A and B are shown apart, each in its own frame.
Chain A
């Protein structure tokens, strides 16, 4: 849409329809675009140009200091529902030194700290910055999906027993501690080796590593850059879920919910009400403390390097500076710890299934489908060079043929796991060539919130939600009833609409929809 003149403000679609609307109150937060419907409103006064049905662009002229355009992937309806923070924050990101091509926001985007959730940005490793605000407090928060050979008919009679066993073996909620006890020296090994440390201890299978982003271990982890505070917060939390939007979910894949049979087969999904298990969690208190520690470091460093940012939560430092490298070393420690956390949880899930079904994890076919980070900064190689890619609430989505993928997925592209609300279900997708060209191999990560936690708690009570979900065939085990209410499905965007946006945009392709039957929440 294009601003056309005064008095009042005219807005003209930058599309074939070439229609325009007139407003007398330009400072109100709306614009209107007739080609997407007569009542489309946006929570910004900035000019937002339509590139195609699923892509919108804010030009660099819209904010002083923007170095590149900001691009938002969204259907018209999703764009209209995005909060003001998305537009402000994605354009703030576009001002950061060394940013390459675009600042991006995915359709599950909403306001975050510094970057919006759903934010993606690539920086020149030589003269660009690194920012904890582009990674998030929960470093390497991510998703993991484990398949089984069990069917719904086999699991349903034992679902209560299974969820109780999972709830017992995978601690969740405030202050929870995991079953793995490590001393500081061992914890440093976890920081360096990530998931491989777990495999060496017997918490997983060698084949698991092939099916984890970066094989569950980021190079460059430097435990010397981690504070004692961070170690003390995280050392007892291996194998814990946490709270907030983190969960462990038992799900069903039915035939009608498989959209790409070839890709599904490559991942071991055959449908026929097959049971899978999804895990969403990250680096817990360890990663949170690393983020807090380095935000303070970067606030001071910015003055030293003469960097100014639009938002204090975008504190950053040149990637090649001592501060930037220290954070990168500490962040990689947290990322590896998150991979280890999800690996230990996987071990516990396998043990729980084996106990309940009186079998072994191998006999139950409990292979890892994939594990992918959605809060991370990594140096990645693309056709046009190496870039430091920040993904915050955004998932890597490498296309077919990528050398970063294991043989089993090289033909179909990287599995992308997108978690929805505990009531509505989740999706499995694959990365595409288009993502490699347009989004630094990135896509959405979940459904994205639309309602505040306080409002959700006022709207629904945890105990009632628990009963309602049971009536709908979803058994929930929760540590906190108020925490459960905060995560009600009504607080989230419609994940199908978000997924259809990235599918329509061609940056990921749908493989299967996964419906919940059991959920564990902190």
Chain B
């Protein structure tokens, strides 16, 4: 099942927050990635003319998601791009001491004349940041500084 996300209204008055969830870690990462992509621009308005492979490796899931989302913010500025979609592959080692994310990121250079641009996110914050798992679902709460 694909993951889902929703923007949270009143967690951060001056900024943006979302909650993503999925029945697997993969679905959770897909949903959180989609939430950030949609915060920057309407992906339907973004062409698929730019691609980049991104690999992130961290010792735990929380840090991996945090660093991955921050990497998207970095690429937005460093490459002056917005994103159409990302294809993610998640894996870990046998003792789960290392988590890896392989991402194929697709988008286009920023073009205000053809894209519906939204918020210029400054960073992913640790405020109320949480990744959790209940019996059936993974959840993440993320606050973005805009």
Q: Is B134 in the interface zone, CB < 8 Å from A?
A: no
Check B74–A233 contact: CB distance below 8 A: yes
Query: Do A173 and B117 form a contact, CB below 8 Å, given A236-B80, A454-B16?
Result: yes
Nearest residue, chain A, Cβ from B115: A174
Closest B residue to A234 using CB positions: B77
A289 to B120, CA, bound (A): 13
Closest to A83 in B: B13
For A237, list chain B residues within 8 Å (CB). 77
Chain B contacts for A486, CB-based, 8 A: 119
Q: Which residues of chain A come closer than 8 Å to B119, judged between CB atoms?
A: 174, 243-244, 453, 480, 482-483, 486
Within 280-320 of A, Cβ neighbours of B (below 8 Å) are at: 284-285, 288-289, 291-292, 295, 311-313
A113 to B80, CA, bound (A): 26
Chain A residues closer than 8 Å to B25, beta-carbon distance? none
Size of interface on B: residues with Cβ below 8 Å to A = 36
Interface residue total, chain A, C-beta cutoff 8 A: 46
Which residue of B14, B70, B76, B118 is within 8 Å of A112 (Cβ)? Answer: B14
| A192 interface residue (CB < 8 Å to B) | no
Is B77 in contact with A137, judged by CB distance below 8 angstroms? Answer: no
Bound: A331/B102 CA distance, A: 32
**The one of B7, B9, B76 that contacts A175, using a Cβ cutoff of 8 Å:** B76
A residues in contact with B10, CB < 8 Å: 452, 454-455
Q: Is A449's beta carbon under 8 Å from chain B?
A: yes
Q: Does A232 contact B (CB under 8 A)?
A: yes
- Given A173-B117, A291-B123: A449 and B80 within 8 A (CB)? no
Whole-angstrom CA separation of A402 from B70 in the bound complex: 42
- Nearest CB in chain A to that of B14: its residue: A449
Q: Tell me the minimal C-beta distance from A330 to chain B in angstroms.
A: 15
B74 to A483, Cβ gap below 8 A?
no
Given contact pairs A452-B9, A454-B9, A455-B9, A175 touches B14 in the complex (Cβ within 8 A): no
- A184 CB to nearest B CB, Å: 13
Taking the complex as formed, is B137 at the interface, i.e. its CB lies under 8 A from any CB of chain A?
no
B126 within 8 A of A: yes
- State A292–B124 Cα separation when bound (angstroms): 8
Q: Bits for B57-82, please: 1 = Cβ < 8 Å to A, else 0.
A: 00000000000001001101110111
Cα–Cα distance between A480 and B126 once the two chains are bound (Å): 27
Encoded as 1 (CB less than 8 Å from any A CB) or 0, chain B from 78 to 97 comes to 10111000000000000000
Bound: A242/B80 CA distance, A: 12
* B123-A450 in contact (CB<8A): no
B126, A295: Cβ atoms closer than 8 Å: yes
B77 CB, nearest partner CB in chain A, Å: 4
The answer to whether B126 touches A453 (Cβ under 8 A) is no
For the complex, what is the distance from the CA of A311 to the CA of B127, rounded to whole Å?
8
Verify if B146 is at the interface (C-beta below 8 Å from A).
Answer: yes
Cα A84 to Cα B3 with chains together (Å): 32
A177 within 8 A of B: yes
Most buried by A among B10, B14, B82, B127: B14
A284 to B145, CA, bound (A): 12
Write the nearest CB–CB distance from A476 to chain B, whole angstroms: 15
Q: CB of A479 within 8 A of chain B?
A: yes
- In the complex, what residue of chain A is closest to B122 when comparing beta carbons? A288
Q: Does B133 count as interface, using CB distance less than 8 angstroms?
A: no
Query: Contact partner of B112 among A112, A138, A173, A451, CB < 8 A?
Result: A173
> A284 contacts which chain B residues (CB < 8 A)?
77
Tell whether B104 is near chain A: CB-to-CB under 8 Å.
no
CB distance from B144 to the nearest CB of A (A): 10
In the bound complex, CA of A451 to CA of B9 (Å): 9
Interface centre among B9, B16, B120, B126 (most CB of A within 10 A): B120
In the complex, the chain B residue whose C-beta lies closest to that of A458 is: B9
Please determine whether B14 and A117 come into contact, CB atoms closer than 8 angstroms.
yes
A245: chain B residues within 8 A (beta carbon) = 14
Known: A453-B14, A522-B120. A174 touches B145 (CB 8 A): no
Which residues of A are interface residues toward B (Cβ below 8 A)?
Answer: 83, 110-113, 117, 137-138, 173-177, 229, 232-234, 236-237, 242-245, 284-285, 288-289, 291-292, 295, 311-313, 449-455, 479-480, 482-483, 486, 522
Contact sample, A vs B, 24 pairs, CB 8 Å cutoff: A83-B13, A175-B82, A175-B109, A176-B80, A177-B80, A232-B74, A233-B74, A284-B77, A285-B74, A288-B73, A288-B77, A292-B70, A295-B126, A312-B126, A449-B14, A450-B13, A453-B15, A453-B119, A454-B8, A455-B9, A480-B117, A480-B119, A483-B118, A486-B119
The 5 closest A-B pairs by CB, nearest first: A175-B110, A285-B77, A243-B120, A288-B122, A233-B77
